[in-house]
Amino acid sequence: MPRRTSGEQRLASNQCQGISLVNMRPVEGTTDHVSLCIDAKLSSLPRNPPERCIFKVNYQLRSVNEKAYEPEMLAIGPYHRDKNRLQVMEEHKLRYLQQLLRRRNESSVHKYVMALRRFEERARKCYAESISLNVDEFVEMLLLDGCFIIELLRKYAILELRDINDPTFSMDWILNSLARDMMLFENQLPFFVLHHLFNMTMIPDMPYDLVDVALHFFDCALPCPVSVKEGNSSYEINHLLGLIHNFILTPFTAETGVTRDVVGKEENFGFMHSATDLKEAGVTFKKADGSNLFDIKFENGVMKIPCLRIEDQTESFLRNRIAYEQYREGNRLNYVTDYVTFINYLINSSKDVELLCRYGIIENWLGDHEAVSAMFNKLGNYVMVSNFCYAEIFKNVNVYCCRRWNLQMTKLRRNYFNSPWALLSFLAAVLLLMLTLIQTVFSILSYVSL
C-alpha cells in the first residue's frame, strides 16, 4: 500500500470528527494524522463545569424502566424539548406568558429576555450534557419554561389567577401528570433562573415566596407530606427536584440528628430476611405514627415503619430521587436509596406485600400485590448503596432473630401454626390434654377421700 503524503495526512486529520486543525501547532517533526487528530480533540475538550447539576440518566438505570424518566406531557429544559408528543404544551407555555404580561400591563418580554441573557452562560453550565441550542434559542427556552412553571405554581395557589377556560385546572389528571413531569431528574431548570423570574414578576401583597408555592403544588403528588420549617431554605437548591428532595428529608434528618454529610467508616449492613420470614421469627410489625417516611425503628422485636402509599406515579417518584442521589457529588447519605433498599429486603414476594398491607405499612392503590413486589425488586438494579443509614437496624434484627428462644418459636409457628387447621388441631390437643389432666386429678381426689 502506498504511503500517504503529508497533504493527505492533514486532510485525513481534518476529517477526524470534524475537528479543525487550523490553529493547532503540531510538535516539531510530528506529521502522523492520528497524533494530530487526538491532539486536536484534547485541545478542544471542554472542562466539566463545577456548576453542573442537571444530568441525563445513564443507560443502565434507564434500561430497567425507561418510562419512569420520560415526561408524559411537559418538557422542561433542553433534554426533551424536541419530542413530538410534548409539543402540545409549547402553545400553552406561550399562553401562560401572555397572561402574565397582560396581568402586569406589559406588552413586551424585552426586559425578561435581557435579564436572562445575563444568566445564559451560567445556566448552560448547569447541564452536564452538551446542548445544541444557540444563545437565542437557549434564552427563549429559559423564558418560556421558567414563566410557565411560575405561573402554574401561582395559579395553583391563588384561585383568582386562573383562567376559567384553562384545561390544566379542569381535570385532575392533567395536574398530576404535570407535577410528575416537573419532578423528573432530566426535566429541570436551574433554580436561580426560576427565582429571578419569580421576583421580577412578583405580585403585590402576595405573602408566598417561590419555595412556598412550589411545596404547596407538589404536596398532593408526594407519597409523604412535606413540612416547611424555619431554616429549611438554607439548603442549596439546584432545581425543583432538589428542592422537593431536601424538604421530604428535612424532618427525618432534624428528628434523628443524622447529618447530610457522612463522617466515619462505612459499615457493611449484611442481609435481612423478608417480612414473612421475620414474622415467623417473632418480629412484630407496626405502622409508625407521624409523616416521617424514613424514620424506621426496631426495638424489642417490634419494627415500626411509616406508611407508604403506592400508586401509579410512585415508581417514577422513587426512581428519579434515586437517580438524583446517585449523581450527587460528595460523600453523602442517600436516604431515598437506603429506604428503597430496606423495603426491597422486606419484600420478596406478593405475600410480603400482603403482610405489610395488613399492618397498614403499605397502602396499595394499585391493587396488585405482585406488581408492588416486582416494582421494589427492580428499583435496586444498578444502584450503588454505601454508608447505609439502616445498617444498625439490620444488625439488631439479625441478632434478635438468632436468639435461641426466637428460633424455637419460629419452628413452633412453622410446624403447628402454619394454617388454621393446624392451629385448631393444636388447640384440640391442648384441650384434650387438659381434660385428661383434670380427670386424673378428680380420680386421685376421689380415691383419697375413700
**CB of 284 within 8 A of CB of 275?**
no
Buried b (16+ CB within 10 A) or exposed e, 206-221: eebebbebbbebbeeb
Q: Which residues of the chain have pLDDT under 70?
A: 1-30, 45-50, 224-235, 250-268, 291, 330-331, 404-423, 448-450
pLDDT at 60: 94
pLDDT at 125: 94
Three-state secondary structure call for residue 140: helix
pTM (two decimals): 0.80
Write out pLDDT tens, residues 114-172. 999 999 999 999 999 989 999 999 999 999 999 999 999 999 999 999 988 899 998 88
**CB of 259 within 8 A of CB of 253?**
yes
Write out pLDDT tens, residues 93-106. 999 999 999 999 99
- Residue 302's H or E segment, with its range, is strand 302-305
**CB of 377 within 8 A of CB of 344?**
yes
pLDDT at 7: 45
Kindly give, in sequence order, each residue whose CB lies less than 8 Å from that of residue 175, ignoring residues fewer than 6 positions away.
156, 168, 169
pLDDT at 36: 82
CA distance 325 to 304: 25
CA distance 284 to 280: 9
Kindly give, in sequence order, each residue whose CB lies less than 8 Å from that of residue 142, ignoring residues fewer than 6 positions away.
116, 119, 120, 123, 189, 193
pLDDT at 14: 47
pLDDT at 10: 44
Buried b (16+ CB within 10 A) or exposed e, 55-64: bbbeeebbee
Kindly give, in sequence order, each residue whose CB lies less than 8 Å from that of residue 119, ignoring residues fewer than 6 positions away.
142, 192, 193, 196
Q: Where are the domains of the chain?
A: 6-44, 59-221, 275-405, 419-449
